[in-house]
Amino acid sequence: MSNISQQAILKSLITIASALVCALLLFTRIPGMEIFGIRPNWLLIWVVAWSSQSSTIEALVAGLVLGLIQDGITAPYPTHVIPLVFAGFIIVFLQKQRFIQEDFIFIALVTFILAIIAETFMAIQLGLIGNQTFGEIWVYYKQVALGSAVISSLWAPVIYFPLSQLWKP
């Protein structure tokens, strides 16, 4: 095999492995990695990193696949597909508008906002399922959304920068 195809295969394997590691990190409790029992949304962080370096279709497919993986290893209701696909779309849109910058503050800020939006999608789905009222969900949602946004935005640069260096052409 040529050197170029070996590099492409290696990059593909690292990409798949990094996505699977992020999926497995959803269930890993590492000391100091939680805020009020809320862990980072690793798959959202991965979708942000991937989408900032990819096309619209690739970002949407990544959000779809990782959402289905998360639904498969947790519960399908509420679905994680919608927030992850939306996050991929927003990142590609910002990239095409030249809003994406290569600095960790911007990536952390975008991840913070998208984590809140993702938790909002989840809360709306929980309300529509009907097991709880929107009032009950709202009380819990505030803590989860803020905790998830803070911890995910803190970890986003740690995931983003090594992977973005790998994915650069």
pLDDT digits (tens, 9 = 90+) for 121-165: 999 998 898 888 888 898 889 899 999 999 999 999 999 999 988
Threshold 0.85, pTM exceeds: yes
Q: Please give the pLDDT value at position 91.
A: 93
Residue-wise pLDDT for 73-116, tens only, equals 887 788 899 999 999 999 999 887 776 666 788 899 999 999 99
- Residue 1 above 70 pLDDT? no
DSSP string, the chain: --HHHHHHHHHHHHHHHHHHHHHHHTT---TTS-BTTBPP-HHHHHHHHHHTTS-HHHHHHHHHHHHHHHHHHS-SSS-SHHHHHHHHHHHHHHHHTT---SSHHHHHHHHHHHHHHHHHHHHHHHHHHTSS-HHHHHHHHHHHHHHHHHHHHHHHHHHHHHHHHHH--
Number of Cβ within 10 Å of residue 159's Cβ equals: 23
User: Is-contact 152 45, C-beta < 8 A?
Assistant: yes
Domain ranges of the chain: 1-167
The whole-angstrom separation of Cα 66 and Cα 46 is 9
At the second CATH level, the architecture of 1-167 is: Orthogonal Bundle (1.10)
Q: Please give the pLDDT value at position 78.
A: 81
What is the average pLDDT score of the chain? 89
- Residue 36 above 90 pLDDT? no
- Residue 28 above 60 pLDDT? yes
